[in-house]
Amino acid sequence: MRVKAITRSTDEFTRERSQDLQRVFRNFDPNLRPQEKAVEYVRALNAAKLEKIFARPFVGAMDGHIDAVSCMAKNPNHLKGVFSGSMDGDVRLWDLATRRTVCQFPGHQGAVRGLTVSTDGRILVSCGTDCTLRLWKVPGDTLMESDDGSGNSSQPLAVYVWKNAFWGVDHQWDGDLFATAGAQVDIWNHNRSQPVNSFEWGNDTVTSVRFNPGEPNLLATSASDRSINIYDLRMSTPARKVIMRTKTNSIAWNPMEPMNFTAANDDGKCYSYDVRKLNEAKCVHKDHVSSVMDIDYSPTGREFVTGSYDRTVRIFQYNGGHSREIYHTKRMQRVFCVKFSCDASYIISGSDDTNLRLWKAKASEQLGVVLPRERKKHEYLEAVKNRYKHLAEVKRIVRHRHLPKPIYKATKQVREMTESERRRAERRKAHSAPGSIQNEPLRTSRIIKEIE
């Protein structure tokens, strides 16, 4: 009798470490699993519930300012450094890892309204209502690493006094120019004490300015006359202008699709536009119940974060009508500025209660080292949940958020008002001559006119 020995590699069944689980071999033939969909549905349901259980978005607060935080800026060359300016003129550099002040920049006599960092990450530009523009040298990485939390002070490299107060500042993504917003739009160079160019369209105050990430010579501004303006530095006159029904507080360009930008509006909504077609919004993002004060895109361009007067921070998909996440605490007051971190993992918010708060971009994300097996499990559960996200039970659990009572009541009131307006429009159309009244979508109804 001839005996055959079954040969197999020891690498396939031997554990690498004593803590490893024994490898299990499975037969993935679908005929052997008639209940596969039912099992996966239960897994999706459990994954949605576990996500709610482990949702702990708040990381920590950074306190040190003695007045409301009015603006923030990221350093493109340093992942964990963020600048903040407050209403009392204090400018600080924070280390997000230790949540401590690294350096202070004293000098402003009024509220700091704008902060921006140069392309190379070496120069910080600050401006405010004291009509001064200050340039500061950003501390190097060695100071960030060796700081003991004492908060060293820095002296400005240059101070430019101007005739009007400043309301915002932004630096080119690739270049040496930066723009300030105030009574007009002024274009400055690091080495000159006077603007190299100025733009003016009407007599109203310009409240925010943002350079385009793809085209260095293109910038968008919002003004107190409810307008959004597009300027081109290569032209002597402004390019385009769109007037809305309510004022725009801030603008953010999509870094991955530089032809699109999103405007944070006073009516509690955000409007995404294509700069080539300003007579209609691409998408209307609604959930806030009060003015949206600031907006910032994620470096991935897939989502953006907003801060509102209703004391909440919300995260929207770039093409989603409703927010996927809402962050709030009992002590947080009106949110004036928000930023995504440079790696899209965290969100920083600055509010009226003098605090900066650090949040996770994904509420249930596991911080620290994630083993390969854990990462595979997270990816599988996310895929299963995404597969069954349209089913009623999974959808209800994923969408549910606990809201503060004032926000809940205000949301209900807004919903009732919207429904009442819709019914009124339907009745008016039903009792009018056929074709005399046309339904106007929200994407165009909030726009008064476009000027070229």
Sheet holding 260-265, edge to edge: 248-253, 260-265, 269-274, 283-286
Helix (H) or strand (E) holding 327: strand 323-327
Q: Burial level of 228, CB count in 10 A (0-12/13-18/19+)? A: buried
What is residue 25's DSSP assignment? -
Domain-wise residue ranges, the chain:
35-55+367-400, 58-366
Those residues with Cβ within 8 angstroms of residue 382's Cβ, 6 or more apart along the chain or in another chain: 47
Q: State pLDDT tens for residues 200-238.
A: 877 788 999 999 999 989 999 999 999 999 999 888 777
Higher pLDDT, 300 or 4: 300
Q: State pLDDT tens for residues 135-158.
A: 999 987 655 555 555 556 778 888
Judge whether residue 26 has pLDDT over 80: no
Distance between CA atoms of residues 433 and 31, nearest Å:
62
Fold for domain 58-366? Answer: Methylamine Dehydrogenase; Chain H (2.130.10)
| SS3 of the chain: helix, strand, coil, percent, to 5 | 20, 35, 45
Those residues with Cβ within 8 angstroms of residue 440's Cβ, 6 or more apart along the chain or in another chain: none
258 within 8 A of 248, measured Cβ to Cβ: no
Task: Kindly report the average pLDDT of the chain as a whole number.
Answer: 89
Residue type, position 403, single letter: L
H-type alpha helices, 99-164: 141-146
Distance between CA atoms of residues 265 and 293, nearest Å:
8
Output the DSSP codes for 273-315. EETTBTTS-SEEEE--SS-EEEEEE-TTSSEEEEEETTS-EEE
Backbone angles phi, psi at 434, to 5 degrees: -55, 130
